[in-house]
Amino acid sequence: MTIEMLWEQDDPDAVLRDRFGFASAEAVGDWVTSVVERQWGLRVESPERVVMSDRNALAWVRRGDERLLLKWSVAPDRFERLTFAAELTAWLGTLGLPVSAPVPTLAGEVQVTSAGISMGLQRVIDGGHLDVDDADQVRAAGATLARLHDALRECPLRSSRPEVLSVPAPLTEQIAGWVTSDPSTLSPEARDVLGQLLERAPADLPPVQIVQGDYRAANILCAGTAVVGVLDFEELRLDHRIGELARSAVMLGTLFRDWEPVPESVRQQFLDGYQSVRALTDEELHWWPVLVLWYSLALVPPGDDPNGWGRAATEVLEHTAR
């Protein structure tokens, strides 16, 4: 069994012990097999791999030829969100959308909490992470996001979890607040351009709705040119569709420890794919360059910038200011 970290540099054995309470790989393996049998009534083999991130963990297991994924969290402040995300994903699955729908427990729950642990079980989807160098996959990812947005707009679960879904501030306030915080990476030119764009930005956007919250290569699985899996709805939120579209376009190529920006051509392919399913309003199209610039600037790290986010943001700024 492999025990590893998703992106952190901490020692995985120490994290397994100190955050999750397991003294060894054997101990976590025994727990995984027993909890899957007790809660789901399924006998599985010992995990092939356990991956941890913050206070969340994933274990890949086999049941004959079937591969399953147990996800669990020991962060109680996220339990409500995890339950809502599981219910939402299950509902999207009934609509035929390419999501990793949870497997119900023996009691019919899609997310179960026991002994201070919130957990869910999914079937592993065969596919590779979105390749942003494949224009067909990028366009398919855009089209899939539009279909998800269409479905999420009609989600019947929204009113049942108001504690999870807080209404965001208007976009102008969000961006102005970020500028006012005086980020060290924000140049005077970028500040001026953003200010000018905000002055001209229309206020009449479609209302906020539930969005996926973390739509990027790490959470998009493809087979050929088709999107076969959208993973991890745990960051779901209320937002404008154009907000998620722009944020996802900027972050589309990011994986786990590989966070690199994508060129303008990829963002355009993604936008084209989205609009092949759902055309943007004139107001949304006006916001597109504003939000792409904002997210590009916000991702520039202070200090070392090995992945070139600063260079990418400068290119976006020059393109937007023309």
What is the mean pLDDT of the segment spanning 65-74?
A: 97
Whether residue 209 is predicted with pLDDT greater than 90 in this model: the reply is: yes
pLDDT band at 97 (very low <50, low <70, confident <90, very high): very high
pLDDT digits (tens, 9 = 90+) for 119-174: 999 999 999 999 999 999 999 999 999 999 999 999 887 766 777 889 999 999 99
Within 8 A by CB and 6+ apart from 104, the residues are 90, 110
Looking at residue 71, its pLDDT comes to 98
Looking at residue 164, its pLDDT comes to 83
pLDDT digits (tens, 9 = 90+) for 297-320: 999 999 999 999 999 999 999 988
Angle at the Cα of 175 from the Cα atoms of 172 and 252, rounded to 5 degrees: 115
Tokens in use for 229?
Answer: 């899996």
Q: Are 1 and 25 in contact (CB under 8 A)?
A: yes
Place of tokens 């994290």: 15
Looking at residue 204, its pLDDT comes to 87
Output the CA torsion 194→195→197→200 (10° steps): 170
Angle at the Cα of 144 from the Cα atoms of 138 and 148, rounded to 5 degrees: 145
- Beta strands 128-129 and 220-223, pairing class: antiparallel
Looking at residue 322, its pLDDT comes to 73
Between CA 100 and CA 297 the distance in angstroms is 32
E strand residue ranges, the chain = 2-5, 49-53, 56-63, 66-73, 112-114, 117-123, 128-129, 209-211, 220-223, 226-230, 237-239
What is the mean pLDDT of the segment spanning 243-255?
A: 97
Task: Cite the DSSP H helix spans in 121-234.
Answer: 135-153, 171-180, 188-200
DSSP-based three-state secondary structure for 61: strand
Angle at the Cα of 17 from the Cα atoms of 14 and 19, rounded to 5 degrees: 95
DSSP-based three-state secondary structure for 2: strand
Concatenated DSSP letters for 218-233?
A: GGEEEETTEEEEE---
Within 8 A by CB and 6+ apart from 313, the residues are 190, 261, 293, 296, 297, 299, 300
Looking at residue 157, its pLDDT comes to 76
Looking at residue 162, its pLDDT comes to 73
Looking at residue 163, its pLDDT comes to 75
The HSE-up count of residue 77 (CA atoms within 13 Å, CB side) is 1
Looking at residue 256, its pLDDT comes to 83
pLDDT band at 22 (very low <50, low <70, confident <90, very high): very high
Looking at residue 36, its pLDDT comes to 98
Least confident of 40-49, 211-220, 249-258: 249-258
Mean pLDDT over the full length of the chain:
95
pLDDT band at 257 (very low <50, low <70, confident <90, very high): confident
